[in-house]
Amino acid sequence: MDKIKIGIPRGIVYYYYIDLWRHFFKKLDIDIIESPKTNKKIINEGLNYANDEMCLSLKIYMGHINYLKDKCDYILIPRIEDYGIDNQTCTNFLSLYDLANNMFDINILNYNIAYSKRQTEEKAFINMGIKLGIAKKISKKAYVYAKVMSAKDRKRKIIENMRKLSSSKLKILIVGHPYSINDEYVGTPILKYLDKLNVEYINAFDFNSTTTNKLSKNLSKDIYWKYSKELIGSIKLVEEKIDGIIFLSAFPCGPDSLVNDLVIRKINIPYLNLVIDDLDSLAGIETRLESFIDIIENARTKA
């Protein structure tokens, strides 16, 4: 009998949980199919399902679902509400399941995380295993294994990110969600251009999240979005070791527009605010990046 195949869209929640998912399903001997890196066809398909109010990242996510819809038995689309009352997620994390369920004729493998309602990640993964016909005990063991292994993966990324802070190059902190920074069409061209400019870029997401979450209170005590807090907390963590900051977000992201504007008012570090809404041309962005780096280099030379 053929094994169950689980499709995983390469967008939004993918960039936070893919290591955990890979280890979990591998332990259960379940095959996964990941959609490819974002390309023009995926974007165009996503636009067919999206409306104008959706952020660019959500439109891209819809394109990845469309790619997978005839290639697997289930598509994994979780509903992630919060990790506590003061650590909520963007409404997109909460609405992904409902949007996909209404837009596509697909079998969705879903789980819910809402710590404010005692719906923990462990319970969610155990329930997901049970839905797939896996015994509770086996599912729990697979989850514990996946947590240990993904923590090791995470630690390696953090160590590498911290190592970059010792570089002699110009160091720029990229403050943006991983689904923006690591997307082939949104963030990758920017990172490649920074490489071309001989800049060491540091990913704001790849630090210890417990530490950055706490440090965010030095910039605002009122923000309740978990991932936004972790991003801005990284600024306080490394502010003495960087030369500048690039805020990167996908239009029209509500949390980013509020949080980034708030933070910009409170920092004394050179910054560039990039909001990506046009994927057809990077010419304007490259000009802004080059000018920003030139200004910082000139200031560094004069110091």
SS3 5: strand
Q: What is the pLDDT of residue 299?
A: 80
CA quadruple 162, 166, 169, 172: dihedral sign: positive
Say if residue 51's pLDDT is above 60. yes
For 83-134, the pLDDT digits (tens) are 999 999 998 898 999 999 999 999 999 999 999 999 999 999 999 999 999 9
CB-based contacts of 192, cutoff 8 Å, min separation 6: none
CA 295 to mean position of chain CA atoms: 29
Over 70: is that where the pLDDT of 189 sits?
A: yes
Q: Which residues pair with 276 in a beta bridge?
A: 250
Tokens linked to 242? 């960087």
Which residues is 274 bridged to in the sheet? Answer: 248
Is 116 strand, coil or helix? Answer: helix
Which residues touch 136 (CB under 8 Å, ≥6 apart)? 126, 129, 130
- pLDDT value at position 282? 66
67-81, 102-116, 117-131, 272-286: range with lowest mean pLDDT: 272-286
Confidence of residue 156 (pLDDT cuts 50, 70, 90): very high
Helix (H, G, I), strand (E, B) or coil at 1: coil
Q: If you average pLDDT over residues 178-193, what whole number do you get?
A: 94
Compute the distance between CA of residue 242 and CA of residue 172 in angstroms, rounded to an integer. Answer: 6
Cα-based angle 57, 204, 22 (whole degrees, multiple of 5): 65
The per-residue pLDDT of the chain, averaged, comes to 93
Whether the predicted pLDDT of 136 surpasses 70: yes
pLDDT at res. 257: 84
Angle at 292 between CA 286 and CA 297, to 5 degrees: 125
The confidence band for 151, taking pLDDT boundaries of 50, 70 and 90, is very high
Tokens of 188: 């990758």
pLDDT of residue 280: 58
For residue 298, name the pLDDT band (cuts at 50, 70, 90).
confident
pLDDT category, 150, cuts 50, 70, 90? very high
Amino acid at residue number 28: L
At 195 the pLDDT is 96
Reference 205, options 182, 188, 230, 180; nearest CA is: 230
**What is the average pLDDT across 172-186?**
95
Return d(Cα 283, Cα 47) in angstroms, integer. Answer: 23
Check: CB of residue 97 under 8 Å from CB of residue 77.
Answer: yes
How crowded is the C-beta side of 191, counted as CA atoms within 13 Å? 17
Domains within the chain, CATH numbers bracketed: 5-153 (3.40.50), 167-302 (3.40.50.2300)
> Which residues, 6+ apart, have CB-to-CB distance to 291 below 8 Å?
none
pTM for the whole structure: 0.94
Q: At what angle do helices 136-163 and 121-131 cross, to 10 degrees?
A: 130
**pLDDT mean over 197-220:** 97
**Structure tokens of 189?**
């061209």
